[in-house]
Chains A and B, each alone.
Chain A
Amino acid sequence: MDTVFAGAELLMRWDVLAALLIGSIGGVIIGAIPGVGAAVAIAILLPATFSLDPIVGLTMLLGIYGSSMYGGALPAILINTPGTAVNALTTYDGYPMTQKGQAQRALALAYSGSFWGGVFGILCLIVLSPLLALIAPHFGSREIFLAALLGVVLVVLAHRGQVFAAGMLAAFGLLLNTVGLDVKYNQRMTFEQTWLTSGFDLIVVVLGLFALSQAFLLLTQEDTAPKALPVQGSILGAMKEIWVYKRIATAAGSFGVLMGMIPGVGEFTAQFLSYTYARKSSKKPELFGKGSPEGLVASEAANNAVPAAAMIPLLALGIPGEALTAMMLSVFYVHNVIPGPQLFQNQLDFVYALYIAMLLLNVIVIIFLIFSTNLLTKVIQIPTRFLGMVILILGFVGVYSLRNSVVDCAIASGFGVLGLVLKRLNLPVVPIVLGMVLGGIMEVKLRSAMIRVKTPLDFVERPIAAVLAIMIVLVILAHFRTLRKEHKLRLAEADIDHNLHDTQQR
């Protein structure tokens, strides 16, 4: 308990509280604007946070990460356009409720479901922390290598329908990590080019793939300016209804926590499982997709429980499970705070400070949303091409302030165009980033793990390593089993929807 209080004490500074407030409210606004999203905002703000204290910088980024999905529900419900990719499922039941004249009810349920899921995720994290502090030290080099490998395998297999493309992009990410000088100053894949000697900076790649690609996409596409009507009635009063759906919200939160903990899985699988569960256990399954409050709660509670859970592999093992935590990892590294088993043993107060910050952000966001929903409906009406110009100017600050390098900007532009092509092709950007980050971790850990390994079986002689190795094999086998099943149930070519989808824009 003393550690929890020590953690709370770390937050009792004006700059930390200001960062939390700016991050939380900024995150809601960013999430509410279709076409921006947390990844773009975090990528842009990353270099600016390097000059701040780690707790200040991380609190701000966590604020954006944890609150953007709240904001993303607003356009999903009111105008059928999700603010962020993970709010796409919210359109499924949220928009039909708006069409039935229940916009206020839908928003209240989305906010309260998000709050339920978010707080549930953090409470699970707090309860699990002592256990994590016990288990984490048992993760040696080979266990961390296997956990990172599991992350790469899962991020490839999770992109159903484009597994081969996800595989080649993850391998491309692994390659990007190797370019430049290695630890013994051997040149790798530099082609005698001086600008390649220092390798590809993760932040430059991330800014290109997430921020500049989105700017280029918005600038090149046709202009649209979404119109949303003001919401009538009190949101606070309508939020009480969440109590009726507490079982669904808790189950969805649990799926969010479980899926968030596993590297490479994340919100979409959590939403799929919780939505399927909610539909199967509902007394009115026919309403799902036509304005079911249960479906809406399942979607929002699941995706908001993920950010807290995604911090588990990041903090306990130093392994980011998705793009946003991969970006946060760079903030840790810049400040020489190395996430992993040692962090839980030596700086548990810092870890608790992050948890409490996440709890506070949920409270700030819900209060902000109760009073400012109608204000946000005006913000989402910014024309998309104008928004592209805004992102481009902000993207410049992110890239150029790193090293004042024109080459960095040119590289980021190149990745921006690549990101645009991938988004237009429904191909994922995340495997490149995770391949790059997890590749670096795997290289270091495999090298140190192999020193004590004589035969291949030695690698999995410890229980945790054996469990992870079995999980990797099972995940791959399960994928082939699913492929067989899907092949039998496949759609005819004419029924396949080849359009662009909001969920694929990441």
Chain B
Amino acid sequence: MKSVKTLQDLFKRYRRPGDLYFGVSFLIFSIVLLFSLPGQNTWASNTRLFAQPAFWPYAAVIAMVLFGVLHVISALCSPALDGRWKEMLFWLKSVEYAGWFMAYVVTVPQLGYLPSTVLFAVVLTYRLGYRGAKFLVSAAVFGCIVVLIFKTFLQVKVPGGAVYELLPTALRSFMLTYF
């Protein structure tokens, strides 16, 4: 990340590569919503305009389309910036980590919070390129600390794992309550 050149740069947002693609995608999304408005909202009889259930969805989508059109026009009028494909590739790469996150979400009810958190922390750390024991152990310890703070101490609502059912009764209830 580059530091600012002038005071102006601190407070003004300049365009970045990929701006037009995002603007066009957002506008298409808004237009699809615009056409779906009549089917997705109800106009109640004997009700004033501002109290209509459909008033705010209409207002929001119309504003999305208007600002979207203006944004796309301004992007079209501005010179194209290099690196837009590289930028879009970066966006796509991030989807991999959304997948990792969802895999973690699906694993917790099966393996239990403690085992899946430790496993996820260690495997993701390995995937990120940290191969040394220092990082892998730190990840495992971090996973344990998170579970101890949130589940054991703060008692946040995270269900016990299906595998806990295989444990002996006393240990099972202990694991279900605290881990």
Contact = CB atoms under 8 A, between A and B. Distances in A.
B10 A88 contact: yes
Interface stretch (A65-73, A238-246, A384-392, A466-474): A384-392
Interface in A401-423: 401-402, 404, 406, 409-410, 413-414, 416-417, 420-421
Given A392-B97, A499-B1, A493 B79 contact: yes
Contacts of A188: 40-42, 53-54, 57
B14 A417 contact: no
Interface string B46-77: 00101101101101110110111011001000
A52 B144 CA distance: 23
A-side interface mostly:
helix
A385 B57 contact: no
Nearest to B4: A501
A430 to B, nearest CB: 12
A167 interface: yes
B157 A498 contact: no
Contacts of A400: 105, 108, 158
Interface in B23-60: 23, 26, 30, 33, 36, 40-42, 44, 48, 50-51, 53-54, 56-57, 59-60
B13 A220 contact: no
B97 A219 contact: yes
A401 to B, nearest CB: 4
A423 B67 CA distance: 19
A389 B10 contact: no
Given A443-B56, A498-B15, A504-B13, A397 B150 contact: yes
A91 interface: yes
A88 B87 CA distance: 24
Given A174-B56, A186-B42, A502-B1, A393 B22 contact: no
B128 interface: yes
A392 B81 CA distance: 32
A33 interface: no
B2 A501 contact: yes
* Size class of the A contact interface (CB-based, 8 Å): 35 or more
Interface of B: 1-5, 7, 9-19, 22-23, 26, 30, 33, 36, 40-42, 44, 48, 50-51, 53-54, 56-57, 59-61, 63-64, 66-68, 70-71, 74, 78-79, 81, 87, 90-91, 93-98, 100-102, 104-106, 108, 117, 120-121, 124-125, 128-130, 135, 138-139, 142-143, 146, 150, 154-159
User: Which 7 pairs across A and B sit closest by C-beta, in order of nearness?
Assistant: A171-B63, A167-B67, A168-B67, A175-B60, A174-B60, A164-B71, A401-B156
18 contacts: A48-B150, A88-B4, A92-B7, A160-B11, A168-B64, A175-B33, A187-B40, A212-B98, A216-B98, A223-B129, A268-B11, A289-B7, A386-B125, A392-B124, A401-B158, A424-B16, A424-B87, A427-B13
Given A47-B156, A413-B98, A439-B56, 12 more contacts: A51-B155, A91-B4, A92-B4, A161-B12, A175-B61, A188-B41, A386-B125, A400-B158, A417-B91, A420-B91, A447-B50, A501-B10
Interface of A: 47-48, 51, 80-81, 88-89, 91-92, 95, 159-162, 164-165, 167-168, 170-172, 174-175, 177-178, 182, 184, 186-191, 212, 215-217, 219-220, 223, 268, 272, 275, 289, 383, 385-386, 388-390, 392-397, 400-402, 404, 406, 409-410, 413-414, 416-417, 420-421, 424-428, 439, 443, 446-447, 450, 493, 496-504
